[in-house]
Chains A and B, each alone.
Chain A
Amino acid sequence: MPWVIGFWASLVVVPWYGLEAGLSSQSWPAAAEAAWHGRSWLLVLLPPVLLASLAGGLRWPRLMALAGVSGLLLLALEAWLIAGKSQPPLGWGALVYASCALVVAAYGLAWQGWCRGDVFIVAAIGAVCASTLVFVGYPVSCVLISAFRDNAGHLDFGLFAAKITDRSIWGLDCLTGGRNCGVAWNSLALACIVGVLSTLIGLAFALIAARTHFPAKRLLRLMSILPVITPPFVIGMSLILLFGRSGMVTAWLNHWLDIPRSRWIYGMTGLTLAQLLAFTPIAFLVLLGVLQGVSPSMEEASQTLRSGRWRTFTKVTWPLIRPGLANAFLIGFIESLADFGNPVMIGGNFRVLSTAVYFAVVGAAQDQGGAAVLSIVLLAFSLTAFVLQRAWVGRRSYVTVSGKGDSGQPGALPRSLHVVCLGVVLPWIVLTASIYGIILVGGFVKAIGSDNTPTWEYFLTAFAIGHGDHGFFLAGSAWNSLFTTLKVALIAMPLTAGLGILTAYLLSRQRFAGRGVFEFLTMLSFAIPGTVIGISYILAFNTAPIELTGTGLIMVIAFVFRNMPVGIRAGIANLSQVDKSLDEASLTLGARSAATLRRVILPILRPAVVTAMVYAFVRAITSVSAVIFLVSGEYNLATVYIVGRAEFGEYGLAIVYSAVLIVIIVSALLAIQLLVGERRIGRREIAQKRVPTPELAQA
């Protein structure tokens, strides 16, 4: 059996230690390490392999399962008990050993009838669970543990209690005339305001788009994809260029109306504005879906029952969309909590949790314990909102999506409401347009606002191609980070989509014990703010047994586990529309589930695969919060580079680079659309109505 051979090879062929050095490294296979380098404890890994050889040959299910499970447990024990003391970080040998042990266990369990006797399914569930545990569960628990330790590494509950109740987190000085409130209150207040306002503005947009004959609906559609293609901090940067002390609008106001220049944009007001601009489109998408889900026949029924427009709206439409509003609020709330780019750009002295975590780590204090405590508070807030959101959406959604066509005209808006909505929507469109206008042109003038002479200076600094003795070379300062970004994004893209779709398949097609917990865990990584992921990865993967910091791999892993939930949701949504008998037919025709997945499910799921790939690619290019902790001199990313430039006030360079990123993303999106195209699949596919995917927009 090949997996048992692999099991042997992991001990006697593949180097046990050192991931990055690869196969040509100084490290020897575990067997050699045990024999000649005095690492005799590695011998505990041998019995499971012997056991597996025996049980595999004789096809003894229980023994086989025991071999696999004991292999995994012994590896974990070996890695963590002796970690850091006398052995280097684990390498490829350990990885192969773990994979083979997992598959051996899967054989043993499947032979006993687990998962309808399907080895692939058992192994896949095991693999997804194990990788989620290692790359989400383990880092987060490291944060928790670190919060309870002092800087010397001793457990100290008193210190934890002191830190978590600290005035800098929970202080209420600003209410009593003091300077600053605690960061927790700042974050909560900001998140609430942004949640409420983005829901209301999003509702105005959704009502205009779904219930009126607004002439420029395509424009609204376009707006809804903006947050997908924009790195999160760009809005903040652009606001500074418009309303900052030397901003364009500020300059005009000063010149024409004699309004003095001020720094009002830095702080809570500017931050609220930036987040609203960034997250309102998400609320719009969510609420548009909700409004379209309200069957027009309900509103028609109300009108035939002698209710006017206003009564119909307040008594029928509004109650029906209320759960959707709560959902939009909670999404806005979570987004605002997790946002890092805008607070770091425009927050000024207004500290929120996500930036406080960052400055605790990179600042002069180097207080990892403090950062961990702040992370716990942030995590508690966003998980609470996440659990609320799921519970609420799960139980209270009235949205009816039946397969049947529901003819009928949605009711028109009450006139006063229509006017109010337009009053919100039109200025907002103008504001958004000027924000993006600034981004696209701002990098090509000398100093926007004060000196509008066109220039290529910034663009050339970043993207110049020099010509020297050895031909062309990339002289610009941005090339390095741009290529790293593209490389990481391209590697993460198929992995993210693959893992997400596989998980979706397991969740929607298999029944197994602990399925609910499994689903919750995989979706959880979505709710964990990027800053927390970043710090947890530093804490978990900086030393043996698993050492990844400073590599490109750690960024790929961070992206995969952060963005996987979108693949899961898209996959589940699509799979729920594909008749289960298709998989079963393939199975009864003798195709195993791996072949079924590849030859039947994946071709039918192509829309979900594309969604997951696009999202994974775009998010890998635009996200900043998690990776700002993980970049190194060798592997710098575009977003982190831009934030760094902007912090030094080099807005020209930052904005020209942002514009280039946006152009790259847009052309990638268009290229994927063209490449993938749509192949006619059948009635089922045609009948299926395209529902906008709010997940895509959840930045």
Chain B
Amino acid sequence: MTLPSDHPRVQFRTVGKSYGEVAAVRNISLDIAAGTLVTLLGPSGCGKTSTLRLIAGLEHPTSGRILIDGQDVTHLSAAERDVSMVFQSYALFPHMNVLENTAYGLLASGMKRREAEESAVAKLKAVGLAGFERRLPSELSGGQQQRVAVARAIVLEPKVLLFDEPLSNLDAKLRRQVRDDIRALQQNLGLTVVYVTHDQDEALAVSDRIVVMQGGFIVQDGTPRDLYERPANRFIADFIGNANLIPVQVMACDGDLATITLGTVRMQVPHRGLSPGPALMAIRPHAVRVAAGKTGVPFRGRVCKAAYLGGHIEYVVAIETVGAEVFVIDGNVHAPLAVGEVVDVSILVADTALVPASDEK
């Protein structure tokens, strides 16, 4: 299904979009390769949905150009672009049944009714909705409505398939399954998918590549592993995986490693381009080990809060020598620590990353 092409499937060339005074998207450039699933991730208002709608043609940029398969589509309307979208609300037409909804796009592009309905039936079968053709959307469950929306979009075999927060209207249990279904469908059909979400777990689970946006800018663009292990700044370290951000001093850089002081303790970690001076150390909650007793580790802390969550326990531990509180996820549910208890704290240096002390734009 993918065309042999030198071009990336979607290209943004310094695209900006503003609504009056408010800039939603600020001069972003972005390439999306064919056959990949790229997630636009960020908090609400970061410009990710605007970016998605710019690809769809539902918004038109105030500056810059958008190309699909090398063709300039900047001024083409949504109907003229070979792009389909699955909406957050699914946007199923309430007055049409499942079959009519699915065949709608094919009929709009001039296909004969019989052919259109055959393809629609095939795609409905592919998403597991055979036998539901005559139902109205109002007679389906949320998950089924979502699958109709997907079938309606993929039946057109678009060059790019867009998902706008497709899981947000599903209950937690269904989410994991639908997420896996979407990923499987994308890989089986070799679809190019752009996926918008504000949920970092969802993004990590489905994506080939994640584009993190904030305030209309792209702040980092990389594989899920890149983002988690090597966050570009404190915003991403915090947004993806809730890192503890502890102030440290970079004393000296030597080769790839920097010597830093954390509280009174010196250690060596990869410097990631930082020069001597203040910096932040991103420490994942599960990279901190807490245990009662004295084993001679460098840090001592006091348990401030403890919450039992079945599979693990969450603690907040104040470390006096560092002057910070850290959030800890501890798998050892059989030996809970009491609030107020003084504990040994050790940090797995391999699961930490240095980030700049302040976010530069």
- Are B109 and A590 in contact (CB-based, < 8 A)? yes
Give every chain A residue within 8 A of B105 (Cβ-Cβ). Answer: 589-591
- Are A112 and B75 in contact (CB-based, < 8 A)? yes
Give every chain A residue within 8 A of B321 (Cβ-Cβ). Answer: none
Let me know if A685 is at the binding interface, CB within 8 A. Answer: yes
Chain A residues 657 to 699 lying within 8 A of chain B, measured CB to CB, are 679-685
Q: How far is the CA of A586 from the CA of B87 in the complex (A)?
A: 11
Convert A618-645 into 0s and 1s, putting 1 for each residue whose CB lies closer than 8 angstroms to a CB of B: 0000000000000000000000000000
Give every chain A residue within 8 A of B92 (Cβ-Cβ). Answer: 585
Convert B80-105 into 0s and 1s, putting 1 for each residue whose CB lies closer than 8 angstroms to a CB of A: 11011101110111110000000011
- Are A604 and B108 in contact (CB-based, < 8 A)? no
| Interface stretch (choices B57-65, B274-282, B330-338) | B57-65
Q: How far is the CA of A208 from the CA of B80 in the complex (A)?
A: 56
Nearest CB on A from B116, distance (A):
12
Let me know if B77 is at the binding interface, CB within 8 A. Answer: yes
- Pick the contact of A116: B57, B85, B87, B149 (CB < 8 A): B57
Nearest residue, chain B, Cβ from A580: B91
Give every chain B residue within 8 A of A595 (Cβ-Cβ). Answer: 108
- Pick the contact of A582: B74, B81, B91, B109 (CB < 8 A): B91
Let me know if A166 is at the binding interface, CB within 8 A. Answer: no
Let me know if B138 is at the binding interface, CB within 8 A. Answer: yes
- Pick the contact of B58: A588, A604, A679, A685 (CB < 8 A): A588
* Also in contact, A117 and B60, with CB within 8 A (given A591-B79, A604-B94, A679-B95): yes
Nearest residue, chain A, Cβ from B162: A588
Let me know if A20 is at the binding interface, CB within 8 A. Answer: no
Give every chain A residue within 8 A of B156 (Cβ-Cβ). Answer: 589-590
* Also in contact, A586 and B94, with CB within 8 A (given A579-B89, A581-B87): no
Give every chain B residue within 8 A of A599 (Cβ-Cβ). Answer: 104, 108
| Interface footprint category on A | 20 to 34
Nearest CB on B from A466, distance (A):
50
Chain B residues 187 to 235 lying within 8 A of chain A, measured CB to CB, are none
Let me know if B28 is at the binding interface, CB within 8 A. Answer: no
- Are A581 and B89 in contact (CB-based, < 8 A)? yes
Give every chain A residue within 8 A of B138 (Cβ-Cβ). Answer: 680-684
Q: How far is the CA of A32 from the CA of B83 in the complex (A)?
A: 49
Give every chain A residue within 8 A of B87 (Cβ-Cβ). Answer: 581, 584-585
- Are B59 and A116 in contact (CB-based, < 8 A)? yes
Q: How far is the CA of A116 from the CA of B152 in the complex (A)?
A: 23
Let me know if A587 is at the binding interface, CB within 8 A. Answer: yes
Give every chain A residue within 8 A of B80 (Cβ-Cβ). Answer: 117
Nearest residue, chain B, Cβ from A684: B94
Let me know if A593 is at the binding interface, CB within 8 A. Answer: yes
Nearest residue, chain A, Cβ from B137: A682
Give every chain B residue within 8 A of A682 (Cβ-Cβ). Answer: 94-95, 136-138
- Are A589 and B95 in contact (CB-based, < 8 A)? no
Let me know if B347 is at the binding interface, CB within 8 A. Answer: no
Let me know if A418 is at the binding interface, CB within 8 A. Answer: no
**Which of A110, A590, A595, A600: most chain B CB closer than 10 A?**
A590
- Are B77 and A587 in contact (CB-based, < 8 A)? yes
Q: How far is the CA of A117 from the CA of B59 in the complex (A)?
A: 10
Q: How far is the CA of A488 from the CA of B35 in the complex (A)?
A: 60
* Also in contact, A117 and B75, with CB within 8 A (given A581-B89, A585-B91, A587-B58): yes
Q: How far is the CA of A401 from the CA of B137 in the complex (A)?
A: 26
16 extra A-B contacts, CB within 8 A, seeds A587-B77, A591-B108, A604-B95: A116-B78, A117-B77, A118-B77, A581-B89, A582-B91, A585-B87, A585-B93, A588-B81, A588-B84, A589-B152, A599-B108, A600-B93, A681-B95, A683-B138, A684-B94, A685-B94
5 nearest CB pairs, A to B: A589-B105, A682-B94, A682-B138, A585-B91, A591-B108
